[in-house]
Structure 1
């Protein structure tokens, strides 16, 4: 069975009212973010299978059966996939073996797991996908075999999720070959230290810290050290000297051979960060550090200056906004260093509802990376996006003007006006009048009309009429969103996506190969430079670009004119831990004031599953243009 099927069965059999994503993660041996992705996939298709998964913030998830027959049929079909689950278990076993071994040959894996060499070769391809989810690569070297390569911190996160979430502490200690150590003495010493400082801590937090130590000792013994070189030039202290001294005492208690050297000193910082986040109370962690805030304020100011130059949006004058953003980054910086993910249930919604805010947050991430060589986790990036989204909402001004048409029922139109004012901040209802009031209508400056009555006319005074119910229900909102998208259009689609920039790529390939293929073609055309190609890959390394189900949208700022590349993949590929069938490569001219509208229109398209399916099914450029025009009109942005 697929892991999503396991989630459904787990929720269906649960005796608790709600199950948290952390509990599901432990059950699946997966990260919380992976669980959230599975939940979203299930929710998208649950109605047709007779059930629904509801979420309650702070409590978790609950399964409700709506149609018993349909639900039973779903369970029966999932059982047919049971054999595949055995394969998933084997993949995890092989992944664990690879994580705990420097190099292992294909023949040795085949012998260890009693599979043929060709079968193991196919399975390792699936295992490579597991590692890709942690930004790791399964490298193969002649005469040496397979080895997991990538950031040491990412490797440790992978070890934690694939081993700790599947076995007891004792079993894990044995697997990591650290069961010879006196962990009871270590636990007692750590507990005494905490109590001597009068800190109230939860036992599970101390256990979480011990997990860091288990893995650290295993990696230290294998001469694999965390590298925090990026923090040595920072203008503030990451952790306290007291914590560093404590970590040296604790690590030598369980690992007497540990010596503080230039190479190993960063282990103390790594454990000290884990210690402070596990043991110290929240109020101490959130205590503002003026030096640290000033450091990040400089970074934020540089980033918003870039946003002003690239996107034509000026945030530089709102000093309180900049200070609040700098404080948020200052408080969360330890998460960036440890690559800790926050549980953000609204990641996809934030991206789809505030696309420009997400791209502004990417500029923040780029400047943080440039100054500190630290990458921001995806979920944390979405929290920065929320800061920009809130700022945009505060400054939102009504730009689109409309008049509500009616016969004589002014009460109905007042209801519609009230709901429009409440739900659509960018629509200004400038009046209510009857269709036969030609004097007022001839002199109005409305962009369009809304009618709460059934009328035959589709336009008036050359301006479109949109028919909505006075209750402005979900279907009405969907129609209005699409209508506003079309109303804001100014640039013909054909002018920003030419025939030679529409691809149908039938041959499966890895993400990097596909992106390289598209960029090289644009280089040959002279549409981008080598530096701009490097920028595309640099941004891709910074933040995930799989921004909607089945869709990825890498981008960069260029000196030439803005354009789009659409690449349809009939066979899906893995991209940022998810499967995608459509790549939209956005190349935007620096300062192009159409970018904001362009991004809004693109997100309107890709947030509609049926529309995405139609695009993926296109067999030619002409068919693609027709599908897009049918949805957003002949102009895109």
Structure 2
């Protein structure tokens, strides 16, 4: 049988200890439940028995020990990662995984006898395993072809690799990427006890080349995304060596040429060529670029990654409708809008290119937030229509944690509290949720939430009493605990012994402001927030107000509104909405051409509601400042949208970046989500009345 990475670590820990260890210690060490550790210990025990090695000493009161007689166990551990599959006793599921990887790795046919010999099983057992594997892949564009020459795995090249990655990632421990030797041993080949495909030195150079690619992209991938990319590269290198190249349609290839991801993927490929003397075809460079585009970021994605406004509108609608149904005011949390918008870019690339992810927190998210999960599924349909498919639960779970972090978040009075540094490489949403859970449960001061790579630099600038991490890390100078982002009951037992549970009355600043605005005139909201923050500790999303924040009423003028325009067709209507933006000195003339080109290239994606379009383009196409124009047509025109044609209302949009216009879109979404206000947009007689509605309707 094959031990997974955690079971191997347990075996190493027990063999190094002179005295038995409490099972609860192992549970805390690996951040899993007692039952999981007990199952792991059974697997370790079965493994030792099958290899005729000393058995675990399962003492009373939950202690377990292991005595290494004459160093034989230590020798086994040293050789274990070099052990071939035939020397192990494998379960049927483990055998099917090894069979799949062997067929994937081999350029030529493999005979049933070859596979049976390699696995150390009978021909009949091997045939039974093959039948099981065929059943597992029958719904995919994959086949195991049988001929007189033997067996060969065929099908769509990307699906071949994605299926292998899916098998691997289900059990992979992404914390292995923090130590190169750990990753080398836990890689897709060695973790299944297949022969080593490259040396540790080669693995090191590939690992460092990927880290350099991260820097060039200006990004920090989540630990899971980094491991996913490394594994894709491992599989790609083996397949290229055997002339199995992942193809790509020419128009998709051309679309990637202008992206920074394609440029960096090309530089990475050239570096790998030097290391391994292996040529990277252009199509494989493009496939790697797509994987870069589909990676989640531990922090927000870089400024160059523009998000089209139609997704931003749908995010605003999701936040609006979810808040109404759950009776929770999400609208004042600008960080929620930002985080969800940035989540869209990699999500869309993954969905469009068939990249499936596995969310390790999915079961916990469903268990702890069942109503929220159901409601997000109900109201995410607008995003799904833009993408063209229903979101998988694994993707949906990451969206849910963003809302869960806001629902969990509380504020409290400042006091003498320990400074806590959070270390999380699982993405912005998970970091926010961890921060929210910690601050809602304990009297602590969270000084920052950082990635593992930012840890040492942060410790140089901030006073930190404790480090709470979602991964296995140790630090010589600061007490460190590993916890789950959702704070399990086991975590609470640990944290209760260190931190004061929160008992003070909490201040909801958003509610306070709504009460004040109802009964008072607030002349300087930013100043009020600043004054409150001097007395009360405010969460980050309550500190977003800035003096230069612009709302819808700040970016539309009377000369940017036109009623009763007779458009020849959709292009004429788009150009007219752009002309109105130009009237407001929001854009250069070339921006109008870019608005039209965007529709021609991507279709009627700008039609965001029944009869409503949002023409726009990239900020780099000539946007000078944030602006909204409003154009009402005397006769509606067809854009080619299957549900929302014809269009009679157009809101032209310009923006200089991804974030500064989110308040504007949020106000606009509130208006467009109200059927009565949309009806008024179609019936009001004067420009002044329309301007008044737009200025006040989003409040």
**TM superposition score normalised by structure 1:** 0.38
